[in-house]
Amino acid sequence: MRVSEQRQWDRLMQMARLGAIQGEGVNRAALSDLDHQARRLLLSWALPLGLAPSVDALGNLFLRHEGTDPGLPAVLAGSHMDSQPKGGRFDGIWGVLAALEAVQAIREAGLATRRAIEIVAWTNEEGGRFAPGCMGSMAFSGFRPPGSWDEVKDRDGLRFGAELARLLAAEADIPRRPLGFTPYAYVEPHIEQGPLLEAEGLDIGIVTGIQGSRWFLVEIAGKTDHAGTAPLALRQDAVQDMVRAIAALNALTADPQDVLRFTVGRVEVFPNSSNTVADLARFSIDLRHPDAAVLTARGDAVVATIQGAMARCRATVTETFNALPARFAPLVQEAIAAAAQAEGLQARPMPSGAFHDAQFLVPVCPTGMIFIPSRAGISHHPAEYSSPAQTARGAQVLARVLLDLAGRA
Amino acid sequence: MRVSEQRQWDRLMQMARLGAIQGEGVNRAALSDLDHQARRLLLSWALPLGLAPSVDALGNLFLRHEGTDPGLPAVLAGSHMDSQPKGGRFDGIWGVLAALEAVQAIREAGLATRRAIEIVAWTNEEGGRFAPGCMGSMAFSGFRPPGSWDEVKDRDGLRFGAELARLLAAEADIPRRPLGFTPYAYVEPHIEQGPLLEAEGLDIGIVTGIQGSRWFLVEIAGKTDHAGTAPLALRQDAVQDMVRAIAALNALTADPQDVLRFTVGRVEVFPNSSNTVADLARFSIDLRHPDAAVLTARGDAVVATIQGAMARCRATVTETFNALPARFAPLVQEAIAAAAQAEGLQARPMPSGAFHDAQFLVPVCPTGMIFIPSRAGISHHPAEYSSPAQTARGAQVLARVLLDLAGRA
């Protein structure tokens, strides 16, 4: 049983054309027309193999390789197909294509599996268009009710609920399945998005868990004024209080060990005119730490820190996402380690700095992830790169893991 | 000779419908379709009066009341018709309609004037869509060559040059005139945009001059990174260096007297995704002071201050506008004072905190401005308000000033 390096690479490059941006990047937002096209392209490869497609109420797309004992819980493997606005060609999409490549290799080798294997493409992992990310896996796992995000709007004012309905209408030809089930195990292949594997010359990361994440959206309301006439002492300048808030958050999140991750990645100001004092500033907070106690303590202080920083405006802080650190199952970690060894590949256990859909599967079933190297650790950027050989090694390990897990009683 | 309070107010309210936004505000961007419509509406009132229209290469629109000695330089009066993105119903447009009302009153009274009176509507005073502001008056006065801003883009990527060409094509039925001439005098009626006249219970401000303004556009270039994986010590986070730059500028521009005006009103961040470290942050600086020495010293330190604040990113600073403080002509100030006195109105000399097209006429001809009260000093905001009586008193004073100046040898 061998995966095809060339076939998988060709598929990656075909997918990369859907939303291609300058510098070999990809901008393929969740539920966009490009996302629809990517799903159709995936189906164009999966259906001729005999895989059975289905879609659930969140738009999560499944492709089923049947087992010899269809009554047993299936093994689930996959990732997501949406990208960051200025993202790369591998984050997410490689995990879906690796699962397809692994299943195809198993079928081409004429190997029957006891359990079914289902390939999954989760809806909106990135959260770049509709925040937060991981909506598909959160709804699948029961972490949030499926209608939770219907009113979330993108920057054009389009609602998540309406865009999801548009997708489901366009995919009315695909059988609908109930939301959620209990897989035998879940395995997510993904690029590392960090520099460790490359730096140590390794092929495979056996992921031990994921640090926790808390996201906040902050709105600071002031008052517009004429930039030439209003004395500074009388202003309610939303930009100035935003600057004060970010400086205070920098102090709150300071970490000499540089383990805590604090990011303000999104900033919007209104009316956004150079000679008008802004009456509204909006910014995002992304806070992450592998230790639940640290994440809870610092995260719980965010609101008071921002309120304390307000000089003249009013701040509203909404927590949009809260995922505590997750630990992956020994069952899956051991299967990955055994597969890498059998393939003669160099592997090591490692934590994940990024969050992933896998995080939300942890309470549902034994869950794990396979990492492959990211060149220079670059991700969420057009320069994101993993080589044809690296992606093939990852798919080969996955194929062995799936064969192993799907063969168990 | 009496202006009509009702007629002028009706026209103001009709204009306010073109770009009406919530809270009685107006969003009528320069060279937009709404701007075209406003100009047509103005013409629909001016042409039946017998005023002769013409337009120059910058789209500045003129309406000529002929004098008995057409060879003498005309008196020029007017303002602008574009608004801030979240602006009010009076800033700019009242000055144009007051000039129309004044000329109409003169004509209806059967009074001939020795000199012609030209009403002007300057193109793009606000700079909210295409920065900087005052392009029409700057080109008219020779302060900048007429093609200077052709490549300036709005947020949709539309070029100023292309949008100007679109306006001129749409107004091909209006006679074209050469750019610039030397008026006998220029008078600009405008709302105060500050609280002084209302607080003191006065009717008319005799404007003595305008504080200087310097505008800068700052671009901070960093590197995108994954918000969950990239250690803070290795990031080039454009948002963080922007926050440092604004804090450093606050220190540079600190003024215990609260005379200096420093505003960051426009902020944009890219790719603007909550879980991606930003690789580009762009912000505007608006710096004003009535003392040329102070404005020069602080303004000249802006670049070094920003560069000194950069921790890990590269900053590019472009000065987009530089207008030193302007002093208005005694000729015009005296004519306004005499007119207010003759009307039995309460007037006082005062400086202007906002900049205006009048600033650029100062080197060209004797220039002045008439202010009327702004309720609570509010401007660049939907709540901007001057009453029917206040706008009528301003137009009445203007009519007397124009009659006076246009009657001189």
User: Which among B101, B168, B198, B55 has a CA at the least distance from the CA of B400?
Assistant: B101
Residues A116, A66: contact at Cβ < 8 Å?
Answer: yes
Alpha-carbon Rg for chain B in angstroms: 22
Which amino acid appears at position B272 of this protein?
N
Task: Write down the CATH number for the domain with range B212-323.
Answer: 3.30.70.360
Residues 272-301 of A with CB under 8 A from B: 272-279, 281, 284-286, 288
- Chain A: residue whose CA lies nearest to B381: A224
Domain with CATH 3.40.630.10 in chain B: 5-211+325-406
Place of tokens 């220039």: B367
* Dihedral pair phi/psi, residue A47, rounded to 5°: -65, -45
B237 touches chain A (CB under 8 A): yes
What does chain B come to in residues?
Answer: 409
To probe the interface with B, which of A243, A262, A273, A279 has the most B CB atoms within 10 Å? A273
Pairing of strands B25-26, B20-21: antiparallel
Q: Where in chain B is the domain with CATH 3.30.70.360?
A: 212-323
Question: Are the beta carbons of A125 and A134 closer than 8 angstroms?
Answer: yes
Angle at B197 between CA B194 and CA B202, to 5 degrees: 165
CATH number for the domain formed by residue range(s) A5-210+325-406: 3.40.630.10
DSSP letter at B48 equals: G
Q: Pick A226's closest partner by Cβ from B131, B193, B237.
A: B193
pLDDT of residue B375: 95
Rounded CA gap, A158 and A154, in Å?
A: 5
Do the Cβ atoms of B211 and A228 come within 8 Å? yes
Confidence bin at B323 (pLDDT 50/70/90): confident
- What residue spans in chain A does CATH classification 3.40.630.10 cover? 5-210+325-406
- Which pLDDT band holds residue A229 (cuts at 50, 70, 90)? confident
For residues A206 and A334, what is the distance between their CA atoms, to the nearest angstrom? 9
DSSP string spanning B157-171? S-BHHHHHHHHHHHT
B270 touching chain A per CB within 8 A: yes
In angstroms, the CA B339 to CA B118 distance is 19
- Which residues of chain B have a CB within 8 Å of the CB of A277? 263, 265, 380
Give the pLDDT band of residue B12 (cuts 50, 70, 90).
very high
**Tokens matching residue B391:** 């706008």
**Percentage of the residues of chain B whose pLDDT score is greater than 90:** 91
pLDDT at A181: 97
B128 and A273 in contact by Cβ < 8 A?
Answer: yes
Q: Could you tell me the pLDDT band of residue A355, with boundaries at 50, 70 and 90?
A: confident
| pLDDT at residue B139, as a whole number | 98
Please check whether residue B224 touches A, CB under 8 A: yes
Show Cβ contacts of residue B118 under 8 Å, excluding neighbours closer than 6 positions: B62, B63, B64, B65, B74, B75, B76, B77, B78, B183
Judging contacts by C-beta atoms under 8 Å, the chain B residues touching residue A380 are 224-227, 273, 275-277
User: pLDDT tens digit string along A11-56?
Assistant: 999 999 999 999 999 999 999 999 999 999 999 999 999 999 999 9
Q: What pLDDT is recorded for position B324?
A: 86
Whether domain B5-211+325-406 has CATH 3.40.630.10: the reply is yes
Q: How far is CA B305 from CA A159, B52, B189, B300, B310, in A?
A: 43, 51, 38, 10, 9
Strands A185-191 and A276-277 turn out to be: unpaired
Q: How far is CA A149 from the centre of its chain?
A: 16
Give the model confidence (pLDDT) of B171-210 as tens digits. 999 999 999 999 999 999 999 998 889 999 999 999 999 9
Q: What is the pLDDT of residues A57-74, one digit of tens each?
A: 999 999 999 999 999 999
Of residues B258, B213, B252, the one with CA closest to residue B352: B213
Task: Count CA within 13 A, CB hemisphere, residue A82.
Answer: 26
- Whole-number pLDDT of residue B225: 87
Contact B153, B32 (CB under 8 A): no
Q: Is B126 on the interface with A (CB under 8 A)?
A: yes
Q: How far apart are CA A270 and CA B265, in angstroms?
A: 8
Q: Which of A85, A131, A264 sits opposite B271 (nearest CB)?
A: A85
How much of chain B, in percent, has pLDDT values that exceed 70?
100
Q: CA-CA distances (angstroms) from residue A275 to A95, A147, B215?
A: 48, 42, 9
- Distance, CA of B273 to CA of A131 (rounded, Å): 9
State the DSSP string of B289-311.
ES-HHHHHHHHHTHHHHHHHH-S
A7-21: per-residue pLDDT in tens?
A: 999 999 999 999 999
- Looking at residue A183, its amino acid is P
Task: Report how far residue B2's alpha carbon sits from residue B357's, in angstroms, rounded to the nearest whole number.
Answer: 27
- Expressed in angstroms, the distance from the first to the final Cα of chain A is 22
- The structure tokens listed for B350 are 């005062």
Q: How confident is the model at residue A231 (pLDDT cuts 50, 70, 90)?
A: confident
